[in-house]
Structure formats: C-alpha cells, structure tokens
C-alpha cells in the first residue's frame, strides 16, 4: 500500500508548470542578454523552479517586464486570478542598471513530466523556447512500515508516510487525492465479480 501510494504521489497527481518562455531579443537558449548576469540557459533552469498553481484547465500566459537594477524573483511576474505563484521569493536573474527585459511564459496544467521536445509547437512565434515541465506537485515521498499494537493485539502494521510538496498542494490533500486515484483504478477489478462487491473486508 505504501509503495503504491508513493508511485501515485510522484507521478499521477495533476499540477501546473511553465511549458515555454519567450524573451524579447532572444532567439535560442544559448544566447546571452545584455545587462543580465545569467545566460538564457540559467534563466530557463530557474524558471523551471517556479511553483505554479492554476485554477483553470486551459493554458495561460504570464508576463514579466523589469528594468534594472533589480534582483528579479517570481513575485515580479504578472499573473491574473487564474494563476498563483506560491514561491514569490524564488530567484530568476539579476539585471543591471540601464537595462530592461520583457518575457512571456506559457503555463499548462497536466500530470507527470513532459520534456522540452514534447512542449514544442509548430505554430509558436519565432524565439519561443520550450522547456521541460514537471507537473507533479509532490517533490519527495518516503514511507515506513512498523509493527503496531492495538489493545492487547500486536498483529498489526503501522504505515507512516512522509510527503514533501512544492507548496501548491498540502500533503494531506496530496495523500487523499492519490488514494482516490488508486481507488478509482482498483474499482475496475472489483466490478469484475459480484462476490467482490458483496464481500465485506473491513
């Protein structure tokens, strides 16, 4: 049970992530931006660390427009009520005085992991850079099974689960949702026979 929940927690929960970024004046990920300390590759890496919560199923565009000098963080990104960035202090890049930067990012809501190649679109504007998207909101799961006593009966096991998320979902909700996913899948098997439906097991 612990292993099954762990696998679902790490791979099957829905979440939101940036799928592409377009920076004015940048054509490819190997470019550098005048006045910006980080190169484009490092900026993309930092963007992948955004903890995004989307309240809609459709793709959304978020924007960033800054002037130096500034240490730019997730809190500088402009969003509407459909998108929430739960780690506003997350560092993106540093821009020097006399320079500016404008960028747009696409946010999607899906499950699991999608490599940059899977996020490329043929009709995307020139300079749009697809990025790897890690949609799962769960970062780490550990579980431990120990002997347990209930009253005078010591023939039980205790399952302890440790869950770390990116902040877009609380661990209790993540665990409940993963259990729901398991139940929905396992119900397909109980529906195969009336005996399974009629038998009480707990």
Q: Render pLDDT for 6-61 as a digit per residue (tens, 0 to 9).
A: 999 999 999 999 999 999 999 999 999 999 999 999 999 999 999 999 999 999 99
Confidence category of residue 202, pLDDT binned at 50, 70, 90: low
Q: Where in the chain is the domain with CATH 2.170.120.12?
A: 15-134
Calculate the dihedral angle through the C-alpha atoms of 179, 17, 84, 45, rounding to the nearest 10 degrees: 130
Q: Is the pLDDT assigned to residue 146 strictly greater than 80?
A: yes
Asked whether the predicted pLDDT for residue 191 surpasses 80, the reply is no
- Which tokens hold the place of 80? 């509407």
Average pLDDT, the chain: 94
Q: Which residues touch 103 (CB under 8 Å, ≥6 apart)?
A: 21, 22, 23, 24, 63, 64, 65
The class level of CATH for 2-8+138-191 reads alpha beta
pTM surpassing 0.85? yes
Closest by CA to 85, choosing from 111, 138, 38, 49, is: 49
pLDDT attached to residue 189: 84
What's the mean pLDDT in 163-180? 97
H or E segment to which residue 25 belongs: none
Q: HSE on the CB side for 28, CA within 13 Å? A: 1
d(CA 44, CA 30): 11
**22 burial class (0-12, 13-18, 19+ CB within 10 angstroms)?**
middle
Tell me the average pLDDT across 73-91: 97
Fold that domain 15-134 belongs to in CATH: RNA Polymerase Alpha Subunit; Chain A, domain 2 (2.170.120)
Identify the pLDDT of residue 155: 83
Domain with CATH 3.30.1360.10 in the chain: 2-8+138-191
Confidence bin at 193 (pLDDT 50/70/90)? confident
């Amino acid at each position: 049970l612990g292993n099954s929940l762990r696998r679902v927690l790490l791979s099957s929960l829905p979440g939101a992530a940036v799928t592409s970024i377009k920076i004015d004046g940048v054509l490819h990920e190997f470019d550098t931006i005048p006045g910006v300390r980080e190169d484009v590759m490092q900026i993309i890496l930092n963007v992948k660390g955004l903890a995004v919560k989307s309240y809609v199923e459709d793709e959304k565009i978020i924007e960033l427009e800054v002037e130096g000098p500034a240490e730019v963080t997730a809190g500088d990104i402009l969003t509407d009520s459909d998108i929430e960035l739960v780690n506003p202090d997350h560092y993106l890049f540093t821009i020097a005085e006399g320079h500016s930067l404008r960028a747009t990012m696409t946010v999607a809501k899906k499950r699991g992991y999608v490599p940059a190649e899977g996020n490329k679109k043929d009709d995307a504007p020139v300079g749009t850079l697809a990025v790897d998207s890690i949609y799962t909101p769960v970062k780490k799961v550990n579980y431990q099974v120990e002997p347990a006593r209930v009253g005078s009966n010591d023939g039980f096991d205790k399952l302890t689960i440790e869950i770390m998320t990116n902040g877009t979902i609380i661990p209790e909700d993540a665990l409940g949702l993963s259990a729901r996913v398991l139940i929905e899948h396992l119900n397909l098997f109980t529906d195969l026979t009336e005996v399974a439906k009629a038998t009480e097991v707990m």
